[in-house]
Amino acid sequence: YMFFLIITCFPINFLTLYVTIEHKKLRTALNYILLNLAVADLFMVFGGFTTTVYTSMHGYFVFGRVGCNLEGYFATLGGEISLWSLVVLAVERWLVVCKPISNFRFTETHAIMGVAFTWIMANACAAPPLLGWSRYIPEGMQCSCGIDYYTRAEGFNNESFVIYMFIVHFSIPFMIISFCYGNLLCAVKAAAAAQQESETTQRAEREVTRMVVLMVFSYLVCWIPYASTAWYIFCNQGSDFGPVFMTIPAFFAKSSALYNP
């Protein structure tokens, strides 16, 4: 499955970068976050997927503690940049369409600030395990490394890190995305009603509705398995969990690199 993700995610995300850079009309401030999303997905491909394929051939993670930290960090970083890029994308669309701030004009500076924010928040998740708050360990089938959310190893404070992750890096992003796209949908419906439901506004309303449903649904499909599994294991320490049970949530999260573009 990791090999399948490599041969599909790399060309799709690379083409996203290439086409946007090559065509001047696409190099707009609003598209900066889409480029950032493609870069994040490529981080996951090269920092996580390729390593997992190689270690799977050996049946276990062969790169030792340092390699586990690096693989876990880059895979987590890519996934978190992707997650927060979806949040920033939702906020940008809300600001531009709903105009909650009068006379606001979205500029390149705002776009760069949005991209920088995604990297800051991603590192706020990926870096702590390198510094002693939780840790990276081989997970699932023992061929890739991830955050330790299923042991209570002394000295790592895994419990507090799981709570932090669940609140800051799952619940809050979901609430922001839902709020922004919910308001965006209401604004489009109001505009359609004001224009007496012309064919153009009806089509725009349908497209926006479909976009909102897909964005929220894809976020949930990607992250609910990971978040719910981590929370369940956290609340049921000592129970027996098989390697397949531990691996499936990671596959859902890593699949985001395929459908994000």
Under a CB-based contact definition with an 8 Å cutoff, are residues 143 and 55 in contact?
A: yes
Distance CA(209)–CA(93), nearest Å, equals 14
Q: What one-character-per-residue DSSP string does 64-119 give?
A: HHHHHHHHHHHHHHHHHHHHHHHHHHHHHHHHHHH--STT----HHHHHHHHHHHH
Burial class (CB in 10 A: 0-12, 13-18, 19+), 238: exposed
Q: Around 221, how many Cα atoms within 13 Å sit in the side-chain half-sphere? A: 13
Q: Around 175, how many Cα atoms within 13 Å sit in the side-chain half-sphere? A: 7
Distance CA(56)–CA(65), nearest Å, equals 17
Under a CB-based contact definition with an 8 Å cutoff, are residues 45 and 9 in contact?
A: yes
- Candidates 70, 226, 248, 251; CA nearest to 145 is 70
- The stretches of the chain forming alpha helices (DSSP H) are 2-22, 32-44, 50-58, 64-98, 108-126, 128-131, 158-166, 172-194, 199-235, 243-254, 256-259
237 assigned to a ligand binding site:
yes
Distance CA(9)–CA(30), nearest Å, equals 23
Binding residues: 159, 237
Binding residues for Zn(2+): 159, 237
